[in-house]
Amino acid sequence: MAMRRVASTAARAIASPSSLVFTRELQASPGPKKIVGVFYKANEYAEMNPNFLGCAENALGIREWLESKGHQYIVTPDKEGPDCELEKHIPDLHVLISTPFHPAYVTAERIKKAKNLQLLLTAGIGSDHVDLKAAAAAGLTVAEVTGSNTVSVAEDELMRILILVRNFLPGHRQVINGEWNVAGIAHRAYDLEGKTVGTVGAGRIGRLLLQRLKPFNCNLLYHDRLKMDSELENQIGAKFEEDLDKMLSKCDIVVINTPLTEKTKGMFDKERIAKLKKGVLIVNNARGAIMDTQAVVDACNSGHIAGYSGDVWYPQPAPKDHPWRYMPNQAMTPHISGTTIDAQLRYAAGTKDMLDRYFKGEDFPAENYIVKDGELAPQYR
């Protein structure tokens, strides 16, 4: 069985009143289920690639499969506000699928309204759009497709490092504007070789990034709650730094690779940014809320941060007046790093696999669980 029954969980809660958690039965009961997917709308791009599965129009490629089994599959990009399409389905849905690229924010209020909800799936990696404590307290299962886009994000991070180090964007803009001013680019363009690069977080993505940076002959540092084994450290050529601020003060380039939790929200505030080297470059493909938005703007304006790049914002989609759009020396994009076509194929297949296991009452791969039986995965505690 994927999860214990409500009765046994309630009995445990009575025996241990300090942790009152009621687990909703995860095994799908007989009969059709209502599954809601929230994905970004692709419009004219939806038909340009048959493997473009992550958009609302193509809906992970699982509509025919779900409907052939008698299930209802509602898909919408409309996720915000009391009158949005998602809100209409909250009271009677059984499964909600969302992505980090167009997240459906699952608040404690929404969880309370969702009387039939059993399963929250993230098509991709990163489930911080869910109030995980509320989900755990309600006995919900939260899972994601672990590993589905780690390569995609690590490659994107390396690209952004090079874009910032080589001062690429001003040169690109010159070409578009019909200009030619080598000095306007070269005065702040550097080699990556010999620079100190530190990653805050060295999980799957952080390790892949460090491995890809090794041929550039950088000085590689990492800070994480867990130290790598010595053999892996030697293979990668990275040094563990237990003290985060000490590591940051050494770095020419800082890459954020830690999940968004209560501990990491706003961790790069004005005080911490002031401890960074003047002229530091920052790449953040983790989560926008890890940074203090205004502190980043102020540091870019003053030159303390010489360049900031990433694809994550808070909230998402970013409003037109988000200050990161207009700060100097930024190389920001919409949230795209983990939604390459290759990644979409992986997380669509992983989502289908978990749904199939849910219908059969089977466990998911252990690494996919973010909340199970009232317990949060270690990285979110």
Residues 118, 94 contacting (CB under 8 angstroms):
yes
Report whether 365 belongs to an annotated binding site: no
Q: How far apart are the first and last CA of the chain?
A: 25
Q: Is 338 annotated as a binding residue?
A: yes
Which positions are catalytic?
Answer: 149, 287, 316, 335
Residue 263 marked ligand-binding: yes
336 is in an annotated binding site: yes
335 in a labelled binding site: yes
| 260 annotated binding-site participant | yes
262 is in an annotated binding site: yes
Would the annotation count 224 as a binding residue?
A: yes
Annotated binding residue at 261?
A: yes
| Residue 330 φ/ψ, nearest 5 degrees | -105, 150
Residue in 313, 264, 311 with CA at minimum distance from that of residue 293: 313
* DSSP H or E segment with residue 175: helix 168-176
On whether 205 is known to bind a ligand per the annotation, the reply is: yes
Exposure class string for 66-99: b at 16+ Cβ within 10 A, else e: beeeebebbbbbebeeeebebeebbeebbbbbbb
HEC assignment per residue over 48-106: CCCCCCCCCCCHHHCHHHHHHCCCEEEEECCCCCCCCHHHHHHHHCCEEEECCCCCCCE
Residue 62, annotated as binding a ligand: no
Annotated binding site for substrate: 125, 149
Annotated binding site: 125, 149-150, 204-205, 224, 259-263, 285, 311, 335-338
Annotated binding site for NAD(+): 150, 204-205, 224, 259-263, 285, 311, 335-338
